[in-house]
């Protein structure tokens, strides 16, 4: 398969479509990013890396980091985790608090904010230096030191963090939060502020395309079965209230972030990361999603 | 692959687990079915059929027929369909009316009742004898005359049909219903009353495992791309508010019915139908789901 | 008290304010009414009638008739009624179906549509010719033959009745509906199509200001205690999701209709009816509510 | 009117009914109160005080203090307040966060927790020593130094305050919260921890029965019109999701607290406070509500 030719073709077709969205504006560091940037990186199972456009420019991966923390935590708690967070699509916006009330403090899934806060809380229960250990873990997955936590983004997240703080207190009121709230939120805002390039991000997702084995870390990260389960979760819950649409149009397990990145995997074939800052109404990168749709069309395969 | 050995192994393991659920009790014809029945049929891409247990006993496929009607309608309307019904998981029970109100008469997906009523309404707009043509279509997919509409079930559905009637009128109030309500409901209740065996059901789903081509009908039923999309929809929306759980545990696109049946596909490998009447709390067959979970564990592959 | 002077003063002040709203447009008979009409009629406890503006012009009283049917039914069933319908403000639009689902088929109160349908169903259980008997009852309350059911309005209601039909089927699915749906809906649409003038409407509400005794019918219509309870219900639930606002601004028990009418009472003082077709965003007559607000300000009393 | 005889009669009848509820158990100071206590105090417009049972025992007034803070704040901000908080009944439990989300950070009314937090936030914006000034204000209304803030209750509220903290952060995320959260919550938890007897509480509500003039403070506390409006708000919103039921059964404006107290007024007649710790399912004192129902039945008047 000529992956390099493929992603270049996709890249140019998407550019020609001249899609317009809206950069996330809730924190200045993301609002001020050059909106025209666009990059794609694909990593096959042998570890070959293909890239086009701004694929080496670090960007704020935001919610994509929720896959990395879930991986760390899932490895420790395994299915016990599901007593604290569910595995169902939410049908509501990512930061909804209403559903959390109806479901008595058990978040719908680990990728909406409430669920991700539970995961980060679990991380803080088992790792002494959660931020450092998360960075090291992602560096290991990518096979090189690549993670940088942007302190300005981190501080901005904190200063706009009232809603996540509300979610944390709300979880605590349901006894579904064990560590000091400020400490967990610091980790949470830090993980949101991680910056990586498409290349490194695609490498860090490679084990999910490879039955849990990372060719870059050269070790089994998760059991085969657990890796499959994380993929299932990404497929049903990885794109907020656009998960069904993404499954329908693209058909790959993936996770998006408000910085405009999307990381996805085609199991037993490749992992891929796409980045472009302009978002659609649902908060997903308009060019990234279009690129992935074109890619699966051209490959004429997807999961399905 | 020794599919016969595999499904027998699964069959016996499930039987040994002695799982208990509750037969649906809203209509007598289903409430009075022998709850201990259990069958599995698997059809590979060459058309070989494997079966175990009560795989040749006809049962009420109920909501599984929503996949057949969607296929007929999708072939006619294609993506125009999505202006009338969405493609997102619902997170609510299958017969919820609240969500329909919040979303102004556009059902969440074609598999919850409101969405299925829209699909049946669309069917009535394009097919003159919708019930006969649906029966013929399924017979063609199965490669033999197998569909029987049980008139007692149909009448019982009608007599307990207030909620579906409410949904139909509600859709009409949003101008999302075009044909006379009673006519559409007759078709809807008839499709719910279809009886088939696991063998025939698995055969009728075979084209979805085979990029849209039915080996039994010997023709392309849907385009490859459309077949993939129906699989995506089944994965994200096929099991009511347990879709995430099914994707997580089983990882196959499928559709369940309140009669205890589940039909699913492993794309490019096989289609499968499992049936056992006792249901879990979410209304899905407890043995059928367990069987599919064991099957994908043993195969150690799924979509993901 | 110079009631005539008072309502004239109110009338002229409201006219001078030049308030603009929007006539209800869902049925032609109401949409085509002259929007500039405005009338006030007040009836004191001695039966003296005061009027200004279009107070003798019959108009479509619509939902105000829900007070009349509730009175008939409450007299028969008394507190047993509250097992079928609640007495709490709804906080939702008058025709919401979502709340009905959350609360398992028990409508929030007798003045939202779902609750009024239950009341009309109860009416049909106890009265052989419910429409005739309702008309006679209102005529008796008004002390003269005044009720006319407009057949065009009735037919239009029926033709736009999908949502109410959906509510009726939904209630039936919860076993909270006893008579044939079409029959009850006919009564319901007929009561909505009643036409009366402000004068007759104010007279028909007079017993609620007078501890249950109607000076026009010359008999005790309801017990004192029941009359107080209907007033309490009107205060907390009489204005859809604007009940709190009306209590806050006006402070009288009352009921509005989408035709632009409002009937209200000041217990132990007077009953009053105001009519003007243009509505605010919540569906209540903009001039009628303003008139009542000015009136209680000028009187410097209200309930409170 | 023999008010002393009346409340004694009511007291004995309620005692004879042997009603059983459940003491609030979320903080130990309230959970450990003697559940059999029961007192009534009534204050007429001349300032005469009538009492029976435990009417002189101080108890935790909890949410009843929301009327006192609203009075202080309403005097300062007047109708500008209603841009930050609505005046509609909520139909949801007092501490619901879902409704706040649907309505974009504008609480339904000043008596649910979210609304009361906005009021306390407004209090902190205008009063330098809000707690001291609130205590002084209530003392003035009662005509004597009676307010004690129980530090143990205050600390327990704080330690169980996650949900209120979540509400505060959630309000802040909608820019409907101006002061430091911890500071406002301290005031909020303090006001909940106020202890007063029925006698003093009834005296502190006297101005609401007297067109805004307090006979004990010997001054106009609120304009007549504002006093009426607070009464209207208490009637429609004073009893959480039981407001309609209370209006229906009792028909007086009032406010309840989870400590088992209820304060109410009969405009132009009297104010009254009743206390008994055991609560019904909706969180209102079972004996206090029954006492008020009997009282208005015996008087055969209410608002209506």
Q: Number of folded domains in chain C? A: 1
pLDDT single digits (tens) D152-170: 999 999 999 999 999 999 9
* Chain C nearest C-alpha distance from D87 (Å): 6
Residue A107 Cα distances to A81, A90, A119, A158, angstroms? 12, 9, 10, 22
* Chain B nearest C-alpha distance from A244 (Å): 4
Query: Is B170 in Cβ contact with C97 (below 8 Å)?
Result: yes
ipTM: 0.92
Per the annotation, binding residues of A for substrate are: 63, 113, 157, 164, 188, 240, 258
Residue A70 contacts B, CB cutoff 8 Å: no
Query: Tokens representing B202?
Result: 């698995």
Q: How many A-B residue pairs are in contact by the CB < 8 A criterion?
A: 114
Identify the CA nearest to C27 among candidates C202, C153, C199: C153
Reported as a pLDDT band with limits 50, 70 and 90, residue B93 is low
* Chain B nearest C-alpha distance from C213 (Å): 41
Q: Is B212 left (phi over 0), alpha (psi -120 to 50) or beta?
A: left
- Give the one of A162, A168, A170 whose C-beta lies nearest to D97's C-beta: A170
- Cβ neighbours of residue B16 closer than 8 Å, sequence gap 6 or more: none
Chain D residues touching residue C86 (CB < 8 angstroms): 244
Q: How many C-D residue pairs are in contact by the CB < 8 A criterion?
A: 113
Query: Tokens representing C58?
Result: 């019959």
Three-class DSSP category at D153: helix
Note the helical H segments in A78-161. 98-102, 113-126, 130-142, 151-159
Which pTM was predicted? 0.92
Residue C115 within any structural domain of the chain: yes
> What pLDDT score does B21 carry?
95
DSSP state of B65: H
Annotated catalytic residues of A are 63, 66, 188, 240, 258
For chain A positions 170-199, those within 8 Å of chain D (CB to CB) are 170, 172-173
Interface test with C, best of D244, D245, D269, D284 (most C CBs within 10 A): D244
Interface test with D, best of A90, A97, A184 (most D CBs within 10 A): A97
Identify the CA nearest to B111 among candidates B231, B280, B223, B278: B231
Length of chain A measured in residues: 304
Chain A residues touching residue B87 (CB < 8 angstroms): 244-245, 247-248
- Is the pLDDT score of C156 beyond 80? yes
Average pLDDT over residues C80-97: 84
pLDDT under 50: residue ranges of chain A? none
Query: Is A248 in Cβ contact with B229 (below 8 Å)?
Result: yes
Reported as a pLDDT band with limits 50, 70 and 90, residue B240 is confident
Per the CB < 8 A criterion, the answer to whether B231 and B265 are in contact is yes
Residue D304 within any structural domain of the chain: no
* Residue of D10, D60, D240, D285 marked catalytic: D240
- Give the one of D91, D108, D228 whose C-beta lies nearest to C304's C-beta: D228
pLDDT single digits (tens) B13-68: 999 999 999 999 888 999 999 999 999 999 999 999 999 999 999 999 999 999 99
DSSP state of A260: S
Going C38 to C44 to C49 to C50, the CA torsion angle's sign is negative
- Is the pLDDT score of C302 beyond 90? no
* Chain C nearest C-alpha distance from D93 (Å): 12
Residue B245 Cα distances to A109, C200, D209, angstroms? 11, 62, 58
> What pLDDT score does C94 carry?
65
Average pLDDT over residues C24-32: 90
Residue C203: its H or E element: helix C198-209
pLDDT single digits (tens) C107-150: 999 999 999 999 999 999 999 999 999 999 999 999 999 999 99
Helix, strand, coil in percent for chain C, rounding step 5: 50, 15, 35
Q: Which residues of A237-272 are buried (b: 16+ CB within 10 A; e: fewer)?
A: bbbbbbbbbbbbbbbbbbbbbbbbbbbbbbbebbbb
Residue A258 within any structural domain of the chain: yes
Identify the CA nearest to B83 among candidates B54, B99, B107, B65: B107
Parallel, antiparallel, or unpaired for β D254-256 and D261-266? antiparallel
- Give the one of D96, D102, D166 whose C-beta lies nearest to A166's C-beta: D166
Does D258 appear as a known binding residue? yes
Residue A304 within any structural domain of the chain: no
pLDDT single digits (tens) C242-284: 899 999 999 999 999 999 999 999 999 999 999 999 999 999 9
> What pLDDT score does C99 carry?
80
Chain D CA closest to residue A167: D166
Query: Is D235 in Cβ contact with C304 (below 8 Å)?
Result: yes
- Give the one of D232, D241, D304 whose C-beta lies nearest to C88's C-beta: D241
Query: Is B173 in Cβ contact with C169 (below 8 Å)?
Result: no
> What pLDDT score does D148 carry?
97
β-pair partners for A44: A270
* Chain B nearest C-alpha distance from C125 (Å): 20
Chain D CA closest to residue C230: D248
Question: What rounded mean pLDDT belongs to chain B?
Answer: 95
Does D157 appear as a known binding residue? yes
Average pLDDT over residues C20-31: 92
- Is the pLDDT score of C92 beyond 80? no
Chain A CA closest to residue B109: A244
Chain A CA closest to residue B224: A300
Counting as contact any 3 or more CB pairs under 8 A, the partners of A are B, D
- Give the one of D108, D224, D245 whose C-beta lies nearest to C87's C-beta: D245
d(CA A253, CA A237): 9
Query: Is D297 in Cβ contact with C88 (below 8 Å)?
Result: no
Question: What rounded mean pLDDT belongs to chain D?
Answer: 95
Q: Which residues of D96-114 are buried (b: 16+ CB within 10 A; e: fewer)?
A: bbbbbbebebbbbbbbbbb
- Give the one of B98, B102, B172 whose C-beta lies nearest to C102's C-beta: B98
Counting as contact any 3 or more CB pairs under 8 A, the partners of D are A, C
Domain range for B142: 3-299
* Chain C nearest C-alpha distance from D264 (Å): 12
CATH number at residue B98: 3.40.710.10
For chain C positions 137-176, those within 8 Å of chain B (CB to CB) are 162-163, 165-170, 172-173
> What pLDDT score does B80 carry?
94
For chain C positions 235-264, those within 8 Å of chain D (CB to CB) are 235-237, 241-245, 247-248, 251, 253
Reported as a pLDDT band with limits 50, 70 and 90, residue B219 is very high
Residue D232 contacts A, CB cutoff 8 Å: no
Burial of B218 (0-12, 13-18, 19+ CB in 10 A): exposed
Query: Tokens representing D140?
Result: 């003035």
> What pLDDT score does A94 carry?
65
Percentage of residues of chain B with pLDDT beyond 70 = 99
Residue A100 within any structural domain of the chain: yes
Per the CB < 8 A criterion, the answer to whether D251 and C232 are in contact is yes
Chain D residues touching residue A167 (CB < 8 angstroms): 166
pLDDT single digits (tens) D193-212: 999 999 999 999 999 999 99
Three-class DSSP category at B53: strand
- Is the pLDDT score of D94 beyond 70? no
> What pLDDT score does C93 carry?
66
- Give the one of A96, A98, A169 whose C-beta lies nearest to D166's C-beta: A169
DSSP state of B255: E
pLDDT single digits (tens) D29-42: 999 999 999 999 99
Per the CB < 8 A criterion, the answer to whether B261 and B238 are in contact is no
Residue A200 within any structural domain of the chain: yes
* Chain A nearest C-alpha distance from B142 (Å): 21
Residue C91 contacts D, CB cutoff 8 Å: yes
Reported as a pLDDT band with limits 50, 70 and 90, residue D93 is low
Q: Which residues of B278-290 are buried (b: 16+ CB within 10 A; e: fewer)?
A: bbbebbbbbbbbb
Residue D54 within any structural domain of the chain: yes
For chain B positions 92-131, those within 8 Å of chain C (CB to CB) are 96-98, 101-102
Average pLDDT over residues B190-203: 98
- Is the pLDDT score of D1 beyond 70? yes
> What pLDDT score does B302 carry?
84
Identify the CA nearest to D112 among candidates D273, D228, D241, D263: D241
- Give the one of C98, C102, C165 whose C-beta lies nearest to B169's C-beta: C165
Average pLDDT over residues B256-278: 97
Per the annotation, binding residues of C for substrate are: 63, 113, 157, 164, 188, 240, 258
Residue A13 within any structural domain of the chain: yes
β-pair partners for D39: D53, D275
Chain A CA closest to residue B302: A228
> What pLDDT score does A262 carry?
98
Does B63 appear as a known binding residue? yes
pLDDT single digits (tens) B165-187: 999 999 999 999 999 999 999 99
Query: Tokens representing C57?
Result: 């012009």
* Chain C nearest C-alpha distance from B23 (Å): 20
Chain A residues touching residue D103 (CB < 8 angstroms): none
Reported as a pLDDT band with limits 50, 70 and 90, residue C69 is very high
Average pLDDT over residues D144-150: 96
Query: Is B235 in Cβ contact with A247 (below 8 Å)?
Result: yes
> What pLDDT score does A100 carry?
85
């Amino acid at each position: 398969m000529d992956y390099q030719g493929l992603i270049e073709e996709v890249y140019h077709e998407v550019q020609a479509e001249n899609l317009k969205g809206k950069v996330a504006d809730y924190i200045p560091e993301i609002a001020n990013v050059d909106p025209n940037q666009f990059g794609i990186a694909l990593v096959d199972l042998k570890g070959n890396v293909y890239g086009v456009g701004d694929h080496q420019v670090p960007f704020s991966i935001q919610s994509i980091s929720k896959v990395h923390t879930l991986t760390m935590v899932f490895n420790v708690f395994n299915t016990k985790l599901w007593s604290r967070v569910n595995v169902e699509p939410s049908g509501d916006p990512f930061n909804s608090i209403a559903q959390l009330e109806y479901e008595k403090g058990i978040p719908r899934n680990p990728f909406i904010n409430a669920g991700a806060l539970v995961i980060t809380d679990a991380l803080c229960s088992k790792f002494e230096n959660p931020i450092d250990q998360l960075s090291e873990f992602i560096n290991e997955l990518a096979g090189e030191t690549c993670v940088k936590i942007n302190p300005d983004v981190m501080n901005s997240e904190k200063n706009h963090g009232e809603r996540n703080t509300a979610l944390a207190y709300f979880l605590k009121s349901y006894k579904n939060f064990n560590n000091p709230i400020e400490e967990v939120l610091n980790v949470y805002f830090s993980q949101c502020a991680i910056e990586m390039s498409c290349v490194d991000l695609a490498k860090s997702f490679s084990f999910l395309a490879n039955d849990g084995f990372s060719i870059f870390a050269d070790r089994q990260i998760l059991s085969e079965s657990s890796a499959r389960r994380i993929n299932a979760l990404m497929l049903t819950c990885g794109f907020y209230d656009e998960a069904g649409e993404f499954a329908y149009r693209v058909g790959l397990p993936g996770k998006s972030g408000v910085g405009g990145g999307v990381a996805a995997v085609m199991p037993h074939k490749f992992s891929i990361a796409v980045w472009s800052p302009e978002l659609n109404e649902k908060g997903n990168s308009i060019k990234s999603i279009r690129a992935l749709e074109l890619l699966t069309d051209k490959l004429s395969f997807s999961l399905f």
